[in-house]
Structure 1
Amino acid sequence: MEDGAAIWRIARDSEVLDLNSSYSYLLWCRDFAATSVVARDETGGPIGFVTGYLRPDRPGTLVVWQVAVDSAHRGKGLAATLLDALTTRVASDQGLASVETTVTPDNTASDRLFTSFAQRHDVPLEREVLFDGELFPEGTHLPEVLYRIGPFHA
Structure 2
Amino acid sequence: MSNIPTKGDILFRQPTVEDGAAVHDLIAACKPLDENSLYCNLLQCSHFADSAVLAERDGEVVGFVSAYHLPEQPKTLFVWQIAVSKSARGQGLASRILDEAIARGKQRGATHLHTTITPDNEASWATFRKLADRLNTELNHKPFFERDKHFAGRHDTEELLIIGPF
TM-score (norm 2): 0.87
Q: Which runs of 5+ in 2 are unaligned?
A: 1-16
Corresponding residue number in structure 2 for 1:64: 79
* Aligned counterpart for 2:43 among listed residues 27, 33, 45: 27
Pairing partner for 2:54 from 19, 26, 38 = 38
Quick check: which one's helix share is greater? 1
Q: 1:97: Cα distance to partner?
A: 1.3
Q: Give the SS at the match of 2:136.
A: coil
Say if 2:68 is the partner of 1:53: yes
Give aligned pairs, total. Answer: 149
Paired residue secondary structure (2:80): strand
Offset of 1:16 from its aligned partner?
Answer: 1.0
Per-residue CA deviation, residues 44-72 of structure 1 (Å, 9 max, x unaligned), is 22110101000000000000000010111
Q: Does 1:98 align with 2:112?
A: yes
TM-score relative to the length of structure 1: 0.94
Code of the aligned partner of 2:24: W
**What are the within-5 Å matches in structure 2 for residues 64-143 of structure 1?**
64-92=79-107, 94-134=108-148, 135-137=150-152, 139-143=153-157
Give the partner amino acid of 1:95.
G
Residue of structure 2 equivalent to 1:6:
22
Q: Measure how far apart 1:140 and its partner are.
A: 3.1
| Structure 1 counterpart SS, 2:114 | strand
Deviation by residue 1:53-104 (Cα, 9 ceiling, x = unmatched): 0000000000000001011111110010000011012212x11110000000
CA-based RMSD = 0.8
Q: In structure 1, how many angstroms separate the alpha carbons of the residues matched to 2:62 and 2:120? A: 24
Name the SS of the counterpart of 2:46 in structure 1.
Answer: helix
- SS for the counterpart of 2:22 is helix
| Structure 1 position 117, deviation (Å) | 0.2
CA deviation map 1:101-124 (0-9, x unaligned): 000011111101111000000010
**Unaligned residue ranges in structure 1 (runs of 5+):** none
Percent of matched pairs sharing the same residue:
42
Could you give the per-residue CA deviations for residues 6-50 of structure 1, whole angstroms, max 9, x where no partner exists? 1111111111111110111011101000100000012x2211010
